[in-house]
Amino acid sequence: MRLPRFDYLEPANLEEALDLLATHGDDAKILAGGTDLLVRMKKGLLKPKNLISLKALNELSYIKEDDGYIKIGARTPLADIIASELIQNKARALFQACEEIGAITIQHYRGTIGGNILQDNRCQHYNQSNFHRSGRQACHKDGGKICYARDEGDRCYSTCQSDGATALMSLGAQITLAKKGDERTVDLADFYTTDGIMPFAMESHELLKKIAIPVHGPMQGAKSAYKRLAYRSAIDYPIVCAGVLLKPSDTQKNEIDEARIVVGSMSRSPLFLAQESSSLKGKKLDDTDAFKKAADASMNSAATFAVHNVGSTLEYRCAMVSEMVFQALKESAQAAIAAKG
């Protein structure tokens, strides 16, 4: 498989990158680590005329605590996130998620956190070679009018399998998108569309600049955990995953003040399960019956979104949602109890 022809553009700084995006937006893609983008280009799934490289943009590579947030530049390598004591201590779900990302040598040293969030949704019927796809009718994502993953599917149901996005959503992260002369900040939970062809609510001339995770104020003392299941842990994408955050009460010992349950690899975006999360408010940190009920309810909610397109059976993946959520809840509760002493 060979890469199609493209022009390689290497801006020296963010301003130049935004200028290039303003000029070439519809005909360009940002190149960060390239571990998702170049694979798709080799498979003929994408043929951008221009690649705008972030290679020289060191200003987008940092991790720091500032103004009540952990701030992470979009071009920060996954390896830096794994090595960061700040992330290990205050955003553990993200540390665990990045550590689990498959194909260590490629992902950890080339992959970036921005590319991880913005990697394209996947589907076993679509993420195949040109040769494989040429033997059958094109599906919606390939420019056709059918979907192999869902009978009568009127749109694309390809699945978001980003470990990082699932963990970050459970941490209540916000992202900042920049374009020439302007920028905006949105909750990661509000960043997704309902169409797997264009899964992100983002314009072609926008660039992901930074990620911010709240760690002070109402989030002070919150503990998080991340669990995932893959065929082969060393290389595979998750077939189901869950990120969880528990914030203990400041006044009531051992009581949960706020919970966030997010399930990944089950839909077109990570699923923030608001009802299941709020069912844990006021529950004790050692109430495993409440955790089990919330985990089973999460499984039922996630099952309504999932389609059979990332391997394994749908029944197995749904059953494992409950297990991943339950394990993550128990782990974050134990961390919260240990921190309270």
Residues at the interface with ligand FAD (CB under 6 A) = 29-37, 39, 74, 78, 101-103, 107, 110-112, 114-116, 118-119, 162-164, 207-208, 235, 237
Q: How many other C-beta atoms can be found within 10 angstroms of the C-beta atom of residue 156? A: 23
* Minimum separation from the CB atom of position 327 to ligand FAD (A): 18
* Cα(139)–Cα(150) distance, integer angstroms: 11
For residue 31, what are the contacts with CB-CB under 8 A and spacing of at least 6? 8, 37, 38, 51, 52, 53, 54, 55
Q: Is 153 in the site for ligand SF4 (CB under 6 A)?
A: yes
Q: Which of 107, 158, 161, 162 binds ligand SF4 (CB under 6 A)?
A: 158
Strand partners, 177: 184, 208
| Coil, helix or strand at residue 60 | helix
Distance CA(230)–CA(220), nearest Å, equals 32
Residue 35 in tokens: 């571990």
Q: State the helix-helix crossing angle for 92-100 and 163-170, rounded to 10 degrees.
A: 170
- Taken in order 196, 202, 208, 211, the sign of the CA dihedral is negative
Query: Which residue type is seen at 131?
Result: F
Interaction between residue 139 and ligand SF4 (CB under 6 A): yes
Is 309 a residue that touches ligand SF4 (CB under 6 A)?
Answer: yes
Q: Is 114 in the site for ligand SF4 (CB under 6 A)?
A: no
Show Cβ contacts of residue 186 under 8 Å, excluding neighbours closer than 6 positions: 174, 175, 177, 201
In 10 A of CB 104, how many CB atoms?
Answer: 16
The answer to the question of residue 18 lying near ligand SF4 (CB under 6 A) is no
Q: How far is the CB of 94 from ligand FAD (least distance, A)?
A: 12
Determine if 291 is a binding residue for ligand SF4 (CB under 6 A). no
User: What CA–CA distance (Å, rounded) separates 227 from 215?
Assistant: 21
Between CA 213 and CA 91 the distance in angstroms is 8
Site string for ligand SF4, 173-212 (x = CB under 6 A): -----------------------x----------------
Q: Is 237 in the site for ligand SF4 (CB under 6 A)?
A: no
Instruction: Determine the size of the site formed for ligand SF4 (CB under 6 A).
Output: 15
Site stretch for ligand SF4 (CB under 6 A), options 17-25, 152-160, 187-195, 250-258:
152-160
Q: Please, what is the Cα angle at 254 between 252 and 257, to 5 degrees?
A: 65
CA distance 17 to 51: 11
Partner touching 112 among ligand FAD, ligand SF4, none, CB below 5 to 8 Å by kind:
ligand FAD
Min dist CB 122 to ligand FAD, Å, is 9
Least separation in angstroms between CB 300 and ligand SF4 = 22
Choices 2-10, 31-39, 67-75, 136-144 (CB under 6 A): range interacting with ligand SF4: 136-144
Least CB distance to ligand SF4 at residue 153 (A): 5
Q: Which helix (H) or strand (E) holds 338?
A: helix 314-340
Which partner, ligand FAD, ligand SF4, none, binds residue 119 by CB below 5 to 8 Å per kind?
A: ligand FAD
Q: Which is nearer to ligand FAD, 201 or 339 (CB)?
A: 201
Q: Pick one of ligand SF4, ligand FAD, none as the site partner of residue 266 (Cβ within 5 to 8 A by kind).
A: none
Q: Which residues bind ligand SF4 (CB under 6 A)?
A: 123, 125-126, 139-141, 147-149, 153, 156-158, 196, 309
